[in-house]
Amino acid sequence: MATWDLERTKHHVLICNGSTCMKKGGEEVTQAIRKVISQHNLDDIIHTTRTRCNGRCKDGCVVIAYPKGTWFKEINETDAQSLVLNHIMNDLPSPKMVYSYDETFCLNEGEKIGVDKREPQKQKKS
Ligand code: FES
């Protein structure tokens, strides 16, 4: 990580390390993403930060990538290479994209952006 010299930093990747995402492999996801970044000498370009809960536990493990503010869901360690090289570095779409602040991003028809962030057992029965 090159946080002392941000001149080359182009992407900031937030990796959810909240308790639910950690139960869904958050540590492995964190290590796998950081390993891909290092293996491809992208440490100066991509900065990663572990976060607490991002409020979308049902989507865990959640990863958010800036500058586009793209939210990814259900990321596991096998997604790390594709996430870093295809989606973050090369802007290719991913079925694991939930939302992006980038105006060119489109959801699949019928897909909802909002989710109930509570665990299923705590949600009201309707
Ligand atoms: S613990 Fe990751 S979104 Fe809640």
Q: Which stretches of the chain score pLDDT less than 50? A: 126
In a domain, 96, yes or no: yes
In a domain, 1, yes or no: no
pLDDT of residue 107: 54
Domain that includes residue 57, residue range? 6-122
Q: How far is the first Cα of the chain from the last one, in angstroms, to the nearest whole number? A: 47
What CATH number does residue 61 fall under? 3.40.30.10
Q: Which atom of ligand 1 is nearest to the CA of 117?
A: 4
The residue whose CB lies within 8 Å of the most ligand 1 atoms, and thus the one to mutate among 53, 61, 73, is 53
- What would the two tokens of residue 75 be? 């990321």
In a domain, 21, yes or no: yes
Query: Looking at the 3D structure of the chain, how many domains does it have?
Result: 1
Distance CA 80, CA 106 (A): 23
Q: How far does the centroid of ligand 1 lie from the alpha carbon of residue 36, in Å?
A: 22
In a domain, 20, yes or no: yes
pLDDT of residue 97: 87
Q: Which atom of ligand 1 is nearest to the CA of 18?
A: 1
39 secondary structure, DSSP code? H
pLDDT of residue 15: 98
40: Cα within 13 Å, side-chain hemisphere: 15
Say if pTM beats, i.e. exceeds, 0.85.
Answer: no
* Cα three-residue angle 95-76-31, rounded to 5 degrees: 130
Ligand 1, pocket residues at CB < 6 Å:
16, 18-21, 53-57, 60, 62
